[in-house]
Structure 1
Amino acid sequence: MKRILPLIILTIIVFVSACNKTNLKPEQKDFFIKLFGSSSLDYGVDLKQTNDGYVLLSTTTTVNNGTDILLIKTNEYGNEQWSITYGNTLNDYANSIVVNTDGSYTLLGTKTVDNNSLLEDLFIAKVSNNGDKQWEKQISITNNQIGKCIKQSNDGGYIIVGSTTANNNTDVFLIRTDQAGDTLWTKKFGGIYDDVANDVLQKSDDGFIVIGSTKSFPTLSQNNNVIVLETNANGIISNAPQYSQLEGAEGQNIKALPDGSGYMLTGTMLIGENGKKDVFLAKINSNISNLEWKKDFGGSADDIGNALQITNDNEIAIIGTTESYNDGSKDMFFIKTDNAGNEIVTQTFGGAGIEEGNNICNTLNNGFIIIGSSEVEGNKMICLVKVDELGNLN
């Protein structure tokens, strides 16, 4: 069912970069901060640019304090056009969304199937560009599975990655479906400790590249290490290198460089003996075997890297969350670098509460659109931020 949520323009003080304050004015249309939500706990997870605006995927709290999946379509100025929800009496969580080649949307979520055991299945659904529900599917692999990313494959079907748990052991999974969401094959990868996948992309040869984290390889560890998997079109792993420079790191997002020279990775890594966390950016070569360089970004407290985008001129934009450069408890953390990982600018967005940056997209005017959450008067709301090419609001 479609429903319209209250839209609030954020008028509280927003801190940008080194304590530069920016108040949002009503006439600011091209660059803005907007909030969506009507309950105590709503947060944005993923977003995509469309030909006439943006589609936002979020998790929202229901009236009975459960959670549902919420899909919001906005115009180019962030004004809501329609919204729909998916959910029942148990908890449902949003994970990832893709814009299909026909302009429709397919979303990935995680659905609680048993409130007593808290078992979870994958949930995928297709929605027309007008917000009409077309189909939905539920997928189970083992006792418990959590979806992280869905992409449309070269043949119009889908590739899904995440983690699946059975007998207290968590493994990476890859699932290929057809255009109707029906499973074609499922592959699992992992050792005796926990291994998870967070992002996937398809190569021109129809194989796949998966990024995640592992505690099983190269040796058993209490800390995570970045893992990158390369498979053929049938999900058979052909390469799974580990990178010594990324020990103690979690891989969250991967993008292919337009010139074909390799891939950019981002995530979070432990720094020093005290376990402080920094954002990392790394480049691996096209055959994924060699890490060419790695850069860290952060301050004296924990800083988290969640997603990246590559611009038309091969510069890199990263979004995450900072506790080092903040006015409240946490702020959104925007980092832009050149193609060698050298910092161009950093910005933070936040008020007195907790703000988190979860995903980022390029915009048609060469800026960026960011989704996350913002705490306002004790409520956590979906936060949409549109900035220029340097992360400025004006």
Structure 2
Amino acid sequence: MQASIKISAGIFALMILFSVASCDLAIVDPVPGSTGNATKFQTTIGGNGNDFPADILANADGSFVVVGYSQSFTAQGDNQAYIAKLDSKGNLLWEKDFGGPADDYAQAVTAAADGGYVFCGRTRSFNPNNNDDLFLVKVNSAGAKVWEKNYGATDTTEYAFGIIPVGTGDFLVAYRASIGNNQYIKTVKINGNGSKKGADKILRTGFIYPQKMIKTRDGKAAIAGTESIAGSGSAAYILKLTEDGSFVWEKSFPEQSPNFSPAYALAEMANNDLILAGSDLGSNDHDFMMVRYSGIGAREADKIWGGANADELLAVTAGDGDEVAVAGYTGSFSGKNEIYLSKRKAADGALVWEKHFLESWVQAIDVEWCPDGGLVVCTGQNAANADIIIVKTDAQGNFQ
């Protein structure tokens, strides 16, 4: 489908994929002016069952932490929350699984000040009605469990999709709650021991399907997702909030007569602009979509591009300068769903370069900028007994 660019005047069955990554929870500044000397590799991790990622975190020392879920660690094959760490060359340092007798998932991870990691997600292992509860786990730098918590009501479905560090050693967790026909986005603050600090807060009511939360440079946070609009369709959705979980502003795109335009990810530029990434259902199939907002919610630009088959952005990460890297999947080059990786100008979405490679799972792809100027892409295999795929590229998107 033909690409289109729009710049705003004045400033130039809905099924949401719960496993879409992720949360950019640590700001890792890439090496300015990197010219392609970054480490490159392609590797897989996982066991003899299905293993899928949800989030990848690039550490300042070049290592990586991946979270998701795995069926490789229990005899009955139920899903267990999964976390693994790799060194800068892609060697597996450790992997752990957590949960109980039912399904458990890790959805987002952030670094703790003491060198450990905290992930959030959902669990059905502790709810007598088999509903999802919030699931929070902290591990130390070697992957050993420090604590494990689950929170939820027996008659409510709750899943955590984002976690960011706030204050001194605390964390803000964002989650979606469903009680009958009532839908909410809520937040809760926890301390360094995993205990709640204060009451849970209702941030938004209505049929919003959140996917990702990031910490912003102005001491706040932002959430990306999709808003279901009765009788109209669905629109890409962005919400700004304070670090105590209070509402600041929200926007949807397109503003009028949306068709099906889900958003899965967002990133923040150095000037506080926010880049929303997702897709737009055109006349043939989904096309890639980027929308740029100012830090106060003014839409500044949007770009839609793609081919004859399904193309969706599932992740975005901000680098130095005015460029972003986006990742997703594309069916428009080979007819199979491949990883799509592209560097774009943040101002208007203009192409710097784009790559497509490796047949992949379409429900979770994440990308992070790395300290050496390269990019790390994480997704799952489109196969039985699937493993997690991790690809580390140089600054031009090459990994071979």
TM-score norm. by structure 1 comes to 0.75
After superposition, what is the alpha-carbon deviation per residue over 1:311-367, rounded to whole angstroms, capped at 9, x for unaligned?
A: 1111111111222xx353112211101122111111123111111111111012321
1:81-92 aligned at under 5 Å gives the runs: 81-92=40-51
> Is 1:17 aligned to 2:22, yes or no?
no
SS in 2 for 1:202: strand
Q: Is the 8 A contact 2:222 2:238 kept in 1?
A: yes
From 234, 239, 245, the equivalent of 2:199 is 239
From 379, 383, 391, the equivalent of 2:340 is 383
Q: Give the corresponding residue for 1:328.
A: 284
Q: Is the 8 A contact 1:148 1:197 kept in 2?
A: yes
**Count of residue correspondences:** 327
Q: Give the corresponding residue for 2:65.
A: 106
From 120, 129, 151, the equivalent of 2:110 is 151
CA distance in 2, matches of 1:351, 1:136: 38
Residues 79, 194 of structure 1: alpha-carbon distance in 2 compared, 3 angstrom cutoff: same
Q: Is the 8 A contact 1:153 1:159 kept in 2?
A: yes
Q: Give the corresponding residue for 2:226.
A: 268
Q: Is the 8 A contact 2:20 2:314 kept in 1?
A: yes
Aligned AA for 2:146?
Answer: L
Which has the higher mean CA deviation after the structures are superposed, 372-381 or 194-203?
A: 372-381
Q: Is the 8 A contact 1:316 1:336 kept in 2?
A: yes
Which has the higher mean CA deviation after the structures are superposed, 146-155 or 100-109?
A: 100-109
After superposition, what is the alpha-carbon deviation per residue over 1:73-119, rounded to whole angstroms, capped at 9, x for unaligned?
A: xx976998211111333211111111223221111131114899651
1:132-147 aligned at under 5 Å gives the runs: 132-147=91-106
Aligned AA for 2:320?
Answer: L
Residues 88, 176 of structure 1: alpha-carbon distance in 2 compared, 3 angstrom cutoff: closer
Residues 153, 16 of structure 1: alpha-carbon distance in 2 compared, 3 angstrom cutoff: farther
CA distance in 1, matches of 2:106, 2:2: 33
Larger strand percent: 1
Q: Is the 8 A contact 1:14 1:350 kept in 2?
A: yes
Q: Give the corresponding residue for 1:201.
A: 164
CA distance in 1, matches of 2:310, 2:149: 38
Aligned AA for 2:136?
Answer: L
From 178, 184, 191, the equivalent of 1:225 is 184
Residues 14, 212 of structure 1: alpha-carbon distance in 2 compared, 3 angstrom cutoff: farther
Tell me the CA shift for residue 227 of structure 1. Answer: 1.6
1:338-357 aligned at under 5 Å gives the runs: 338-357=294-313
Q: Give the corresponding residue for 2:271.
A: 313
Q: Which runs of 5+ in 1 are unaligned?
A: 1-12, 19-42, 54-74
CA distance in 1, matches of 2:193, 2:350: 43
Residues 46, 82 of structure 1: alpha-carbon distance in 2 compared, 3 angstrom cutoff: farther
> Is 1:165 aligned to 2:124, yes or no?
yes
Relative contact order: is structure 1 or structure 2 higher (C-alpha 8 Å, sep ≥ 6)? 2
After superposition, what is the alpha-carbon deviation per residue over 1:255-278, rounded to whole angstroms, capped at 9, x for unaligned?
A: 233232x3222211221x337221
Tell me the CA shift for residue 224 of structure 1. Answer: 3.3
Aligned AA for 1:151?
Answer: T
Q: Is the 8 A contact 1:231 1:239 kept in 2?
A: no
Q: Is the 8 A contact 2:22 2:107 kept in 1?
A: no
Q: Give the corresponding residue for 2:234.
A: 277
Q: Is the 8 A contact 2:110 2:118 kept in 1?
A: yes
Residues 14, 82 of structure 1: alpha-carbon distance in 2 compared, 3 angstrom cutoff: farther
Q: Which runs of 5+ in 2 are unaligned?
A: 7-18, 353-400
After superposition, what is the alpha-carbon deviation per residue over 1:158-201, rounded to whole angstroms, capped at 9, x for unaligned?
A: 00111111352111111111111111111112221211111111
Which has the higher mean CA deviation after the structures are superposed, 189-198 or 353-362?
A: 189-198
CA distance in 2, matches of 1:348, 1:223: 33
> Is 1:248 aligned to 2:207, yes or no?
yes
CA distance in 2, matches of 1:125, 1:187: 19
CA distance in 1, matches of 2:89, 2:311: 30
From 54, 58, 63, the equivalent of 1:95 is 54
CA distance in 1, matches of 2:37, 2:339: 12
Question: Once the two structures are aligned, what percentage of the paired residues are identical?
Answer: 21
CA distance in 1, matches of 2:335, 2:269: 36
Q: Is the 8 A contact 1:253 1:267 kept in 2?
A: yes
From 370, 373, 379, the equivalent of 2:326 is 370
SS in 2 for 1:155: coil
Q: Is the 8 A contact 1:52 1:76 kept in 2?
A: no
Q: Give the corresponding residue for 1:125.
A: 84
User: How large is the Cα RMSD of the aligned pairs?
Assistant: 2.8
